[in-house]
Chains A and B, each alone.
Chain A
Amino acid sequence: MKDKMIIGRYLPYDSYIHRLDPRAKLLATIFYIVIIFFANNLTTYFVMALIVLLGIHLSNIPVDQFIRGVKPMFWLFVFTSVLQMIFTPGITTYFEFGIISISKEGITNGILVFLRFVLIIFMSILMTLTTEALRLTDAIEYFLTPFKKMGLPVADLALMLSIGMRFVPTLMDEAEKIMDAQRARGMDFNDGTVTEKIQNLVPLLVPLFNRSFDRAIELATAMEARDYQGGDGRSKYRELKWSIHDTFVLGSFAIFFVIVLNLRR
């Protein structure tokens, strides 16, 4: 199961992308998603795909890791694209039946929607595979800091977020162990009808929640025992450092944006 879950994982290679500041990667990813909504023809999508491929190449991570990340959602994407295909009215219609119409425009649109999903997922996976969860939280905390003046408890939010992130792998491990133990008692999680499949989750979720509550209480006790008084004014173990490369990457995205604006229909 852990092997399949690629989203939320970090692969500790050493690469240009790994070394970028998490703030730069977060901004670049958001920027990318914004730009892709401006892309509306094959040429612009080609440019967007090139950007991701360049990123993947620079990250030293094998492409199959990304493909594995898309796999769980593959059919959902196909389904959405097919809906786009048959419900988009077009000029050059090949086939029509009631509200269903298959046209040249519809097919192009469907393919583009599919590509958009895949590219956004690839880009997000590129960010999470190359950035430790805690560094990402640091970046989020940084961007939230201006809201402190409005009374937002930024330090506490960041702590909650980083604790949450910190325990994702722990929970995954735990889930895997519990599933193993129930499988060893003859459970087949993929067996049966939809209702049975949902019932099958009980032997997994009950122990998982039970352990999570225990863990939360233990953690709170441990923090109080060390006299934790809230996060305001605490210094950081790892400071974020913005470098010329980060500026360069964001600058490149600005150029990509201009290119896409010029090439779009």
Chain B
Amino acid sequence: MDIQFKNVSYTYEAGTPIQHTALNNLNLTIKPHKFTAIIGKTGSGKSTLVQHLNALLKPTEGVVRIGNRSITPTTGNTQLKALRKMVGTVFQFPEAQLFGQTIAEDIMFGPKNYGVKPDEALAIAERTLKMVGLDASYLERSPFDLSGGQQRRVAIAGVLALEPEILVLDEPTAGLDPKGQHELMQLFSRLNTEMGTTIILVTHQMEQVAEYADDVIVMEEGTVAKQASPREIFSDSDILANNYLNVPRTVAFSNELAKAYGWNLSDMPLTTDDLAVDLMRYFKAKKEARYEG
């Protein structure tokens, strides 16, 4: 299912003195089954953009196409429920949406809204809870007794329970410890590779972009400044500087090596594994050059 934005504009509080155009004649295409990252500085319109994907916001101008569905400024609310089943959205700090007396009740909420029978919904709850790394013993506990990180997992499970084809994640790992962040990112990556779920991730962490994304969208003042592979984005120093973006640690490290010692690695190392391989290759080439010379 392709996602397409055509000349989309969105204005908050239109017609008042505090009106604010958050999306400005924006065009983009997001490919199905890919892992797409959206980056850009705070206020560049990332959250506004992703809220168009399940029509929580409707464009003030232009068209959003999700597969064969179109969302225009005049689309009626009755057509949106089916769309929201296809597009699961995890908002910033999703733990704020928990309400169930038990975790099971909370996770079953989504499927039940789509008419799934209680026993089937319970099975889904158990399965998705396991996916986020909590076992079935949690089902009967209150979500409010958990730690912040565990609450986040339960909230994410509540969205995964809809079994969406497209999963939208707005800074899902903000404020979590490194281990928790890694586990969640692994989960999203598995959903992408094993189930073919289209992942759209808003993030400020360039390491996540480098390691997981196939495609990157850089947002700047409500429009797309650039859409390209992580490798291209991280080689474009103008784009990075304009948007106050840094490069992943490994890229920064290799840039420093080049600057301080003149060691030019053959490739841009997007992950630590990449960096190790590149360094090995570099030493090997150097050694061979010495023997030949």
A44: shortest Cβ distance to chain B, in Å?
Answer: 33
A185 to B94, CA, bound (A): 12
Residue in contact with B144 in the complex, picked from A187, A188, A210, CB distance below 8 Å:
A210
- Whether the Cβ atoms of B97 and A12 lie closer than 8 Å is no
A183 to B51, CA, bound (A): 11
0/1 per residue, A4-16, Cβ < 8 Å to B? 0000000111000
- Asked whether any CB of chain B lies closer than 8 Å to the CB of A177, the reply is yes
- Whether the Cβ atoms of A12 and B158 lie closer than 8 Å is no
User: In the complex, how many residues of chain B place their beta carbon closer than 8 angstroms to a beta carbon of chain A?
Assistant: 27
- Whether the Cβ atoms of B16 and A184 lie closer than 8 Å is no
A13 to B19, CA, bound (A): 12
Given contacts A181-B96, A181-B97, contact A13 B17 (CB under 8 A): yes
Q: Which of chain A's residues has its CB closest to B14's CB?
A: A3
- Asked whether any CB of chain B lies closer than 8 Å to the CB of A105, the reply is no
- Whether the Cβ atoms of A185 and B113 lie closer than 8 Å is yes
Q: Which residues of B lie under 8 Å from residue A174 when comparing CB positions?
A: 96
Residue in contact with A185 in the complex, picked from B17, B96, B109, CB distance below 8 Å:
B109
Q: Which residues of B lie under 8 Å from residue A177 when comparing CB positions?
A: 91, 96
- Whether the Cβ atoms of A203 and B96 lie closer than 8 Å is no
The B-contacting residues of A in range 189-218, CB under 8 angstroms, are: 202-204, 206-207, 210-211
Q: Which residues of A lie under 8 Å from residue B96 when comparing CB positions?
A: 174, 177-178, 181, 207, 211
Q: Which of chain B's residues has its CB closest to A9's CB?
A: B16
0/1 per residue, A165-189, Cβ < 8 Å to B? 0000000001001101111111110
A17 to B227, CA, bound (A): 49
0/1 per residue, B144-158, Cβ < 8 Å to A? 100000000000001
A182 to B158, CA, bound (A): 10
- Whether the Cβ atoms of A184 and B88 lie closer than 8 Å is yes
Residue in contact with A184 in the complex, picked from B15, B17, B18, B89, CB distance below 8 Å:
B89
The B-contacting residues of A in range 136-185, CB under 8 angstroms, are: 174, 177-178, 180-185
Given contacts A12-B17, A65-B16, contact A183 B56 (CB under 8 A): yes
Q: Which residues of A lie under 8 Å from residue B88 when comparing CB positions?
A: 184
Q: Which of chain A's residues has its CB closest to B112's CB?
A: A186
Q: Which residues of A lie under 8 Å from residue B113 when comparing CB positions?
A: 185-188
- Asked whether any CB of chain A lies closer than 8 Å to the CB of B273, the reply is no
- Whether the Cβ atoms of A186 and B85 lie closer than 8 Å is yes
